[in-house]
Structure 1
Amino acid sequence: MTFSIVGRCEKTGQLGIAISSSSIAVGARCPWLRAGVGAVATQNVTLPALGPQILDLLAGKQLAPAEALKQALDANEWSEFRQVTVVDAKGRTAFFSGKEALGTYHAVAGNQCVAAGNMLSGKHVIEAMPAAFANAEGHLADRLLAAMNAAIAAGGEAGPVHSAALKIVSDLTWPLVDLRVDWADEDPIGKLGELWTAYEPQMNDYVTRALNPAAAPSYGVPGDE
């Protein structure tokens, strides 16, 4: 039902997640990030609480991703139904796929990234993602989306994909990027890419607006904020 990639940009330190699902509004339940701490994707019969719990363990106890993931899973029931991936602010990774994960499932760690999915057309779908992430150029968002498109090109899910999300944190207390396609009959990943193309030229201006409104540009539309 879901495939995703969590990743860190080694140049900027930004952390991000790109994710898609056959279910509605995957971005509301599955991607969890905290600036300077890490990124967690919770999927496959999702327990959203795992995201904040793992981030708390990474931040508060300063655990390595593998130990934070283990402690969070041990503290909750039904772990055999969960699939979770983690990357921390140092680029260290961890992942878990329970034995009750749906259909064909797989997870692969790459350089400062982890790709995972379930209900896949084949394990090769996930194996294509870390290389695409590593070889892509541009902003972290471009690299995450390249990995998602590589998964689609390799066959994607066994069924149709209907929602997608892209979320990135930098050194701010709020997300630098938080884009979602909550439902689309066709090609939500493509529509997510279109949203990113429209948002990228304005992204830094919204940061300027927040930090120094006097220096911020206006787009001259009613209700512009």
Structure 2
Amino acid sequence: MTFSLLGRCGRTGQIGAAGATSDIGVGARIQHIAAGVGAVLTQHRTDPRLGPRGVALLRSGCLAAEAVASLVASTPHEAWRQLAALDAGGGTAHHHGARVRASRAAAHGRDCVAIGNILANEEVPAAMVRVFEADPSAPLGDRLLAALAAGEAAGGEHGPVISAVLEVHGEFDFALADLRVDRAADPIADLAGLWRDYAPKIDEFVLRATDPDRARGGSAGSVPAAGAAS
């Protein structure tokens, strides 16, 4: 009951994920990303422990296919798991366990992979990949959200989704964006609205972390007023 996509920007090296489900809290469970390393999706009977384990494999030098193969070999419940991985070079891989419920599907494209389970039809991931690939010059967050909307437009899952997530990482060891919507009537549209508000602030938020003297809101040595933005 989840459809999701991992994507990489070949121009900036940013890596991100977007996903939606008919259960609550999708953003707390499925996506695991490390800047400059890659990303892993774990879903269906989700085991969030497989995400950090997969990222560690990518960090050790494994390609996406090697990381997924190792994850499958290391878990006694692989039949329930649906996995995908994207490495720093844009390589992709996925796994459908034998007990992952239909319709289940995956699609691979340039710098991206999409997977889904309990889908309305098997074309959903392919629709997501086509849209993600359509404009490689667009910001990664825009491409990920467009792909998520395309998956919903292609049928999505069997029931209505109520939660959605967008996460993007750049060169630093913190997320450039980690936006989540839960228990909403139209979470993908709500997530797109959050992104429109948040995206123009990303550079400033990064500056506050990496070079606060140059950030807006006061000169070096000034004391912010109580309640000022942090």
| TM-score, scaled to structure 2 | 0.94
Tell me the distance in 2 between the aligned counterparts of 1:9 and 1:143: 9
Q: Does 1:90 align with 2:95?
A: no
Q: State which drifts further: 213-222 or 165-174.
A: 213-222
Give 1:72-221 correspondences, 5 Å limit.
72-136=71-135, 137-184=137-184, 186-218=185-217
Tell me the distance in 2 between the aligned counterparts of 1:222 and 1:204: 22
Q: Answer whether contact 2:15 2:35 (CA < 8 A) is retained.
A: yes
Q: Answer whether contact 2:44 2:117 (CA < 8 A) is retained.
A: yes
Tell me the distance in 2 between the aligned counterparts of 1:206 and 1:150: 29
Tell me the distance in 2 between the aligned counterparts of 1:190 and 1:77: 38
Residue number in structure 2 paired with 1:27: 27
Q: Does 1:64 align with 2:63?
A: yes
- Deviations, residues 60-113 of structure 1 (Å, cap 9, x unaligned): 2x1111111111121112101111111111101001111111231000111110
Tell me the distance in 1 between the aligned counterparts of 2:121 and 2:159: 12
Change (3 A) 1:221 1:139: farther
Q: Offset of 1:208 from its aligned partner? A: 0.4
Q: Which amino acid aligns with 1:182?
A: D
Tell me the distance in 2 between the aligned counterparts of 1:154 and 1:215: 45
Tell me the distance in 1 between the aligned counterparts of 2:208 and 2:109: 36
Tell me the distance in 1 between the aligned counterparts of 2:97 and 2:108: 16
Q: Offset of 1:221 from its aligned partner? A: 9.0
**Runs of 5+ consecutive residues of structure 2 not aligned to the other structure:** 219-224
- Deviations, residues 157-192 of structure 1 (Å, cap 9, x unaligned): 1101010000111110111111011221x1101110
Tell me the distance in 1 between the aligned counterparts of 2:228 and 2:206: 18
Residue number in structure 2 paired with 1:8: 8
Q: Which has the larger radius of gyration?
A: 2
Change (3 A) 1:120 1:173: same
Give the superposed CA RMSD: 1.4
Tell me the distance in 2 between the aligned counterparts of 1:215 and 1:151: 40
Q: Answer whether contact 2:94 2:106 (CA < 8 A) is retained.
A: yes
**Runs of 5+ consecutive residues of structure 1 not aligned to the other structure:** none
Tell me the distance in 1 between the aligned counterparts of 2:176 and 2:226: 22
Residue number in structure 1 paired with 2:229: 224
The number of aligned residues is: 223
Tell me the distance in 2 between the aligned counterparts of 1:103 and 1:191: 28
Q: Which amino acid aligns with 2:217?
A: S
| TM-score, scaled to structure 1 | 0.96
